[in-house]
Structure 1
Amino acid sequence: MNIISLFSGAGGLDLGFEKAGFKTVWANEYDKEIWETFEKNFPHTTLDRRSIRNIPSCDIPEAIGLIGGPPCQSWSEAGALRGIEDHRGQLFFEFIRVLRDKKPLFFLAENVSGMLASRHSDALENIKNHFIDSGYNLSFKLLNAHDYKVPQDRQRLFFVGFRKDLNMTFEFPKAFPLKRYLKDVIWDLKDNALPAKEKNYTNGHACTLANHEYMTGSFSTIFMSRNRVRNWDEPSFTIQAGGRHAPLHPQAPKMEFIEQNKRIFVKGSEHLYRRLSIRECARIQTFPDTHTFYYDNLTAGYKMVGNAVPPNLAFFLADAIAKQLTQANILKKVS
């Protein structure tokens, strides 16, 4: 079940689809800080390093599925909210261009919940209509990764479509009642994380577990404006792409409220407040420890982990796609 992957990043989507029985035969990623990580973790996948704008569809192999998460910064609540007016927002149309040219059986596209902001309503409807006009029955839903065995509150939008001639409409998997929390995934890492070297350069092989190192440095006024600590028996805050805004380790007490938009670390416990390590963030994102992230500076490591789709969430979506295609006897016809 060969698929192609656009805006692949560190490969969170690809890991989930691989676990569900799919194989990424060709991937595209333009960020040079990610190339080594993707290629070493997916040695059997061809990685095209060009900008997708410069890749003609004839250079992309045939496959039954197309997956990807077009860059989301321009849609994010934490960003400028420029949306489709930003050149990064327009990369959604490159995804649609490849979809129209290759006509796979299905597609899956992921993006941030900021797309639902009222100011983006016209742009969002435009994108949805483009998917439909491309010949696909579109399913569209906001999901929280915590409902799919991911120990983190993380809301993301998913666009999933089956080609119209298949006479199928994707049904999103139901949420799981059993949840996972911080203690379930990072308790065993609490005592051996390393602070980054000067200027947040990596410790490299000095880490007993790959990437188990955390960014150091001061905390901004914005960071200190609200609590950044979740307890062991809670899900993590959303793992973000910026290391300076990584959640704090649950060993620390929750930050003390002083006034609106101002909190402080509890006096006497200041030494307990540290950012989650890159490996802890990766565990919370449900990456296996065998998935190594390669970087010189920790900022690149946090970015790769934070921008990824949690592999567990990707798996449940991929598994639902595979089961629906199998039940309809579609896979037998194309194999």
Structure 2
Amino acid sequence: MQLQFVSVTAAAKALDVSADTIRRWNKLGLIKATRDKNGKRLFNLKEIQRLQRKLNGEGEEASFRVLKEDSAIEKATCIDLFAGAGGTALGFANAGLSHVYLNEFNAKAAATLRNNSKKQNLGWNVDDRDIRDVSFKGMKAEVIQAGFPCQAFSYAGKSRGFNDTRGTLFFEFARAIEEVRPKIAIGENVRGLLRHDEGRTLETMLNTLDELGYYVNYRVLRAQYLDVPQKRERLIIFAVRKDLSCPILFPREKDYFISLREALKDCPASDGQQYPEKKKAVMDLVPEGGCWRDLPDDIAREYMGGSYYLGGGKTGMARRLSWDYPSLTLTCSPAQKQTERCHPSETRPLNIREYARIQTFPDEWEFTGGISDQYKQIGNAVPVNLGYHIGRCVLASLGYIERTEDMEQVCPIVLNHEGR
């Protein structure tokens, strides 16, 4: 169905709400605006209608839970690279995939993987060597998944294909694919990869996978519509070996989101960062869902310093979250001035277990290291429930489970090889 984009005024008229309401939803990050060639904001009418149904209690029922299937499909084997604290790996495992190998160079994160694997009886083989020292020859798996860090490519956009990526960590992902030859490869990164080097970096990655013998497509998935109580977007690359008839499938967004109130209900107590007395006095003045703009001007000027005079909304500064909406994207430090993540009603940063809940880690998943290490592991993770939905699409593509209405098939991208 063709998307219908309308102006603020037209959207307000169609939904019988004020234009200011539409603008407020946009400011809160619940809906996104695009710009036409004249810079005028346009909104996807279908997305606004979905949000209105949710806020009116008319959308599909939602409740917070860590999604998990009753049993794994032992033949559906997976390798997980740059595994971090295990968000994607646990999501894939909960979906039904069995991991034969995980690689994570950070010692604290690798310890988190090992400890939880033992406690949860996952049987994970965790390797904390530098991935550049790992040979994948002889390894067998139907799926390779990697949340590779995005680095600038020295030759990105020069149509050198596989050679373009040498010296980057994406190359290690590509090398693993070349040596293992999995049926499906899943790459994950931040949304910003779309714009990196004017899109040439992503184009180089896609051309590399094509050169290795894989059909590819990609999509930005919005976690807030996939059972995650957080406005977090991830770019997912789905690659299928060309000698197979496996479809490329992505999760279809739900007609609901999960609020912070639902997510943090009965959350266990835990350690967490605290504000210095002076900062706490400032944050005490910020209402639920508010930010520095809600402070008295003299206090805002002192708190913001030079940032007060810079452009942009700066709404992450002195930001208190709202009970009725998903959390903003979690960072590696909830007390960081530029990206504040203050509890909705208590004047303190979100604590460790609250952070983990918002990333949909189960309460029994423990993180190794000090407080800063734990925040960093959780903040960098892919939400577990997002991993689950991707994992179910992978299993359906491989034919292990039936494809459902929650999955959308897309065609492979026709790549431009001019100059190759």
On whether the aligned pair clears a TM of 0.5, the verdict is yes
Unaligned ranges ≥5, structure 2: 1-75, 157-164, 280-302, 308-313, 403-420
Paired residues of 2:343 and 2:349 also in contact (CA < 8 A): yes
Three-state SS of the structure 2 residue aligned to 1:236 is: coil
Is 2:363 the partner of 1:289? yes
Counterpart-to-counterpart distance in 1, 2:275 and 2:224: 30
Indicate which of 313, 322, 342 corresponds to 1:231: 322
- How much does 1:316 deviate? 0.7
TM-aligned CA deviation for residue 32 of structure 1: 1.1
1:185 aligns to 2:263 (yes or no):
yes
How far apart, in 2, do the equivalents of 1:120 and 1:12 lie? 29
Residue 120 of structure 1 deviates from its aligned partner by: 4.3
Classify the secondary structure of the residue corresponding to 2:248.
Answer: coil
Instruction: Report the counterpart of residue 95 of structure 2 in structure 1.
Output: 20
Measured after TM superposition, the shift of residue 240 of structure 1 is 1.2
CA distance in 2, matches of 1:8, 1:304: 10
The code of the aligned residue for 1:25 comes to V
Which protein has the larger Cα radius of gyration, Structure 1 or Structure 2?
2
Measured after TM superposition, the shift of residue 117 of structure 1 is 2.1
1:213 matched to 2:282: no
Q: What's the counterpart of residue 278 of structure 1?
A: 352
Name 2:127's counterpart in structure 1: 48
- Residue 66 of structure 1 and its aligned partner are, at CA, apart by 0.4
Q: 1:89 to 1:301 in 2, by over 3 A?
A: farther
The answer (yes or no) to whether the contact 1:243–1:298 under 8 Å persists in 2 is: no
TM-score by length of 2: 0.62
Shift of 1:302: 0.5
C-alpha contact (below 8 Å) 1:243/1:303 kept by paired residues: no
1:173 and 2:256 aligned: no
Instruction: State the identity %.
Output: 33
Q: Quote the residue 1:129 is aligned against.
A: 207
Q: Give the match for residue 332 of structure 2.
A: 241
Structure 1 residues 38 and 225 mapped into 2: Cα distance closer, same or farther (>3 Å)? closer
1:152 is aligned to 2:230: yes
Given that 2:145 and 2:187 are in contact with CA atoms closer than 8 Å, whether structure 1 keeps it comes out as yes
Query: Match for 1:62: what amino acid?
Result: K
The TM-score normalised by the length of structure 1 is 0.77
> Residue 105 of structure 2 aligns to which amino acid in structure 1?
Y
Q: Which amino acid aligns with 2:327?
A: S
On the 8 A contact 2:110/2:127 being kept in 1, the answer is no
Report SS of the residue matched to 1:71. coil
Could you tell me whether the CA contact under 8 Å between 1:139 and 1:169 is conserved in 2?
Answer: no
Structure 1, residues 182-237: CA drift from partner, whole Å, max 9, x if none?
Answer: 00111323xxxxxxxxxxxxxxxxxx65xx22112456846886352221011100
String of CA shifts for 1:287-314, please: whole Å, max 9, x gaps: 000111121x211001100111111011
Asked whether the 8 Å contact 1:137–1:169 carries over to 2, the reply is: no
RMSD of aligned Cα (Å): 2.5
On the 8 A contact 2:335/2:342 being kept in 1, the answer is no
Matched AA of 2:328:
F
Q: In the superposition, relative to structure 1, how do residues 70 and 152 fare at CA in structure 2: closer, same or farther (>3 Å)?
A: same
Equivalences for residues 60-71 of structure 1 within 5 A: 61-71=139-149
CA distance in 1: counterparts of 2:166 and 2:114, whole angstroms: 24
CA distance in 2, matches of 1:167, 1:321: 13
* Deviation of the 1:49 alpha carbon: 1.1
Q: Hey, what's the Cα distance between the residues in 2 that align with 1:28 and 1:135?
A: 24
Which structure 1 segments of 5+ residues have no match?
75-82, 190-207, 252-271, 330-335
